[in-house]
Amino acid sequence: MGKQSNKWTAPVSKNKDYTGIIEDLTHEGLGVVKIENFPIFVEGALPEEEVAFKVVKVGKKFGYGKLTEVITQSPDRVEVMDKVYAQTGTMPLQHLSYDAQLKFKKDQVVRVFDRIAKMPEVPIADVIGMENPYGYRNKAQIPVRKIDGRMQTGFFRKNSHDLIPLEDFVIQDPKIDEAVVAVRDILKRYHIKPYDEENHKGDIRHIVVRRGYYTGELMVVLVTRTSDLSRRNEIIESIKEKLPELVSLIQNINPDKTNVILGSDFKVLFGEDGYHDTLLGDTYFISHQSFYQVNPVQTQKLYQTAIDFAELTGEETVIDAYCGIGTLTLGLAKKAKHVYGLEIVNTAIKNANRNVQVNDVSNVSFKVGAAEDLMVEWTDRNEKVDVLVVDPPRKGLAKEFIDAVLTMKPEKMVYVSCNPATLARDLKLLHEGGYEVLKAQPVDLFPQTHHVESVVLMSRA
């Protein structure tokens, strides 16, 4: 690294070409190559490969390069289905063999347990993968735009709002891909105007399709800019005729200039606001704004792992925090004395209460509110809890929640995580507060991407 007027300069320059050997992958699956110890992240490159790349961005601590040639290939490299999936970011790991993807994901968990949690001794099992790591997504949120004068559906180019037309998403349930195209063509036939994001005009913004993997039930949500929808009745009849599995057709109105897909207002055009699917033997009603895991096959493995880790005997009082519509709650209830589900989203709790009735479960109670607030109330009343199960969003647990756990002192805790980094951060705090981390089981819910879920068992030390 050179000096120039006492000012540090990077050993690489933007728009210049270089070659190097990839040493590692970042947690997002980018290849890491070093020039004079300066890391450059190269998308599409794999460890041990010699690659040629053009530097496209130079920062103070690292840069980004664009892969121009793979000079020597990794044995883990596989042929990509289509470059478009890399351009949209829907399958960023499609060039990596599935066995190698699972190893990469385990390495991510091992790494954060070592570096962030400072717990290299915790046993971490191999990642539970899928037999067929494609066609797994049970939900699609597809933007609608005008391209060359025609209505198109597809996906945005990474880091932009340029729509790339796309009909076969590969990782989505093929029936969902077919439904999106069918609905788009019906809207086109009735001259519904696609959304013009720049001028905030047009009618249809997104087509959202959700499908019950085990029931086959289909829900379609038309996200519109205004409540007006011309030729509404004809559109409804045409969609019903084209999609015999349809049980719910919703118009969701989002008048805001925003990246958020769904608005707060909606109309039920056909059926009711929800469809059914089954999980671990229970039937669930899922409304259009409710969270439901997008990979039904792997969700069963994830939740079964959490239930197995809890080792319930039928005598325990359990809290399921961040319970959503009650999918894990009902699974736990089969083996517990009583389970309390905590959730901040009111519509999710309405679904959850309905699901309790549908499945004839009597040992479950749901409470609406922020999990950390409800936990503080619980500890203030000196209520005893034997097992605490948490499945928080990507940001992990709030500090107030962890403080409440350390006051409440449940004997056992099962942490279901979708973000290894925040998981490791939280485990460190819980360990400092008296919990021993016993084991971790990663599960692959998002094949072809860098995401990995984990289930961790803890007990009072």
Angle (CA) 70-73-76 rounded to 5° is: 130
- Tokens representing 267 are 């109309």
Decide the pairing of beta strands 387-390 and 317-321.
Answer: parallel
Helix (H) or strand (E) run with residue 36 in it:
none
Decide the pairing of beta strands 338-343 and 317-321.
Answer: parallel
Checking phi first, is residue 63 left (phi over 0); if not, alpha (psi -120 to 50) or beta?
Answer: beta
Neighbours of 133 (CB within 10 A): 18
Strand partners, 64: 41, 57
Angle (CA) 440-26-116 rounded to 5° is: 45
Task: Give CA–CA dist 137/201, Å, rounded.
Answer: 30
Q: The tokens 């990839």 sit on which residue? A: 22
Task: Give CA–CA dist 276/281, Å, rounded.
Answer: 13
Helix (H) or strand (E) run with residue 195 in it:
none
CA 365 to chain CA mean position, Å: 27
Neighbours of 193 (CB within 10 A): 15
- Residue 323 a catalytic site member: no
Q: The tokens 């996906």 sit on which residue? A: 155
Of 374, 418, 427, 456, which is the active-site residue? 418
Closest residue by Cα to residue 176 from 139, 132, 221: 139
Sign of CA dihedral 304, 305, 308, 312: negative
Please, which contacts does 260-265 make with residues 24 or more away whose CB atoms are closer than 8 Å? 261/141, 261/205, 261/206, 261/208, 261/223, 262/208, 262/221, 262/223, 262/288, 262/289, 263/223, 265/227
Residues assigned a catalytic role = 418
